[in-house]
């Protein structure tokens, strides 16, 4: 096969048709994509396996010129954040992997990338990533619903409200029963006032709270109105317990567990956190770190395009309201 040609195999109602240079692909009238490749084109060996495009299945064996490649890298996809790195470090790592595959075609500076809501360094789970023009739609994830699985420990409080911090209090927890813990959850549901942790990514006069705290700067943090839609206690084996949370924007699970410990007459901290859902995306949808490759990123951007458009339209039409 000549490297200046692009061959695409399209199955329409199980009838194969081979399209060669300068022919078009019909995509429900929305896209009229030419398959021509210029002399300066660098051909990429990508495999888009079993990608459903309305009534078509499209397998691309060789694609794209730089313009088309850059256009394909516009959208939103969920990735699985691993333990031990910040959300910003995840973006840099993903960007480096894409840049390595795109070497000689698209520069690192050409790849715009962002995320739809920070996860703590020790937290894992769904992180929505915007690429190119997809970054403009990340606000609906920042302000949208999120679900978490939280592992917690009674009897110990830390300055960060999680397992990474310095112990600042130890208190008896033997009197805390499952019923007491369950009953105390009610006061944290609905529209509530919550004080964020001092060690957080929130900013004051351009500096993060966590940086100010490490520098010994004394400052007050006021409570903020946040939304907690659902709290469920899954198991209780003192001093440990596990619960699920469904919350709105600006909600800190660390603060919830810290405040819950005080509410039951003891203290507590968050010992592990996993975001199980962000907007329409779950763990099942998310790309694992070993899957952070160019072809998978392009495939998932295309795969979730309709889901994202629908979610974004719903956000735009309902952002003036909340569930309370």
Q: What is the pTM of this model?
A: 0.78
Q: What angle do CA 65, 107, 5 make, to 5 degrees?
A: 15
How many other CB atoms are there within 10 angstroms of residue 290's CB atom? 8
Lowest pLDDT segment from 66-70, 98-102, 118-122? 66-70
> What is the reported pLDDT for 24?
39
**Confidence class for position 220, pLDDT limits 50, 70, 90:** confident
Give tens-digit pLDDT for 242-300. 999 999 999 999 999 999 999 999 999 999 999 999 999 999 999 999 999 999 999 99
Q: 65, 120, 211, 215: which is the annotated catalytic residue?
A: 120
User: Residue 111, class by beta-carbon neighbours within 10 Å (0-12 exposed, 13-18 middle, 19+ buried)?
Assistant: middle
Buried b (16+ CB within 10 A) or exposed e, 218-253: eeeeeeeebbbbebebeebeebebbbebbbbeebbb
Annotated catalytic, 220? no
Q: Which of 317, 256, 302 is nearest to 27 (CA)?
A: 302
Mean pLDDT score, 9-16? 33
pLDDT of the residue at 269: 98
Residues 61, 59: Cα–Cα separation, whole Å: 6
Least confident range from 35-49, 167-181, 219-233, 259-273: namely 35-49
Q: Which two tokens stand for residue 209?
A: 């709270």
Separation between Cα atoms, residue 42 and residue 243, nearest integer Å: 51
**HSE on the CB side for 67, CA within 13 Å?**
8
The overall average pLDDT reported for the chain is: 80
Q: What are phi and psi of 130, to 5 degrees?
A: -105, 135
* Per-residue model confidence (pLDDT) at position 321: 63
Compute the C-alpha angle 253/130/298, nearest 5°. 130
Residues 283 and 78: their CA atoms lie apart, in Å, by 8
Q: What pLDDT does 16 receive?
A: 36
| Gap between the Cα atoms of 102 and 258, Å rounded | 45
Give the pLDDT band of residue 46 (cuts 50, 70, 90): very low
Centre a 10 Å sphere on the Cβ of residue 91 and count the other Cβ atoms it contains.
19
| pLDDT value of residue 257 | 98
């Amino acid at each position: 096969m000549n490297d200046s040609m692009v061959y695409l195999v399209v199955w329409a109602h199980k009838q194969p048709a081979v399209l060669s240079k300068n022919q078009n692909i019909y995509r429900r009238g929305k896209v009229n994509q030419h398959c021509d490749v210029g002399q300066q084109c660098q051909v990429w060996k990508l495999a888009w396996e079993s990608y459903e495009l309305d009534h078509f299945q499209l397998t691309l064996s060789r694609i794209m010129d730089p313009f088309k490649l850059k256009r394909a890298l516009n959208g939103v996809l969920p990735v699985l954040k691993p333990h031990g790195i910040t959300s910003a470090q995840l973006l840099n790592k993903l960007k480096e992997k894409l840049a390595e595959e795109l070497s000689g075609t698209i520069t690192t500076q050409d790849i715009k990338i962002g995320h739809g809501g920070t996860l703590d360094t020790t937290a894992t789970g769904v992180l929505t990533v915007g690429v190119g023009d997809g970054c403009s739609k990340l606000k609906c994830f920042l302000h949208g619903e999120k679900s978490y699985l939280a592992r917690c420990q009674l009897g110990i409080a830390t300055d960060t409200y999680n397992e990474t911090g310095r112990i600042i209090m130890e208190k008896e927890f033997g009197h805390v029963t499952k019923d007491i813990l369950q009953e105390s959850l009610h006061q944290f549901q609905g529209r509530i006032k919550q004080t964020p942790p001092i060690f957080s990514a929130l900013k004051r006069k351009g500096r993060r709270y966590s940086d100010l705290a490490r520098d010994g700067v004394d400052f007050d943090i006021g409570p903020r109105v946040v939304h907690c839609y659902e709290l469920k206690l899954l198991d209780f084996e003192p001093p440990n317990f596990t619960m699920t949370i469904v919350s709105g924007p600006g909600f800190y699970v660390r603060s919830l567990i810290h405040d819950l410990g005080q509410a039951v007459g003891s203290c507590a901290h968050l010992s592990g956190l996993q975001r199980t859902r962000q907007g329409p995306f779950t763990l099942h949808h998310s790309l694992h770190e070993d899957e952070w490759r160019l072809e998978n990123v392009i495939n998932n951007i295309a795969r979730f395009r309709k889901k994202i458009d629908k979610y974004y339209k719903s956000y735009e039409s309902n952002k003036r309201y909340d569930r309370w």
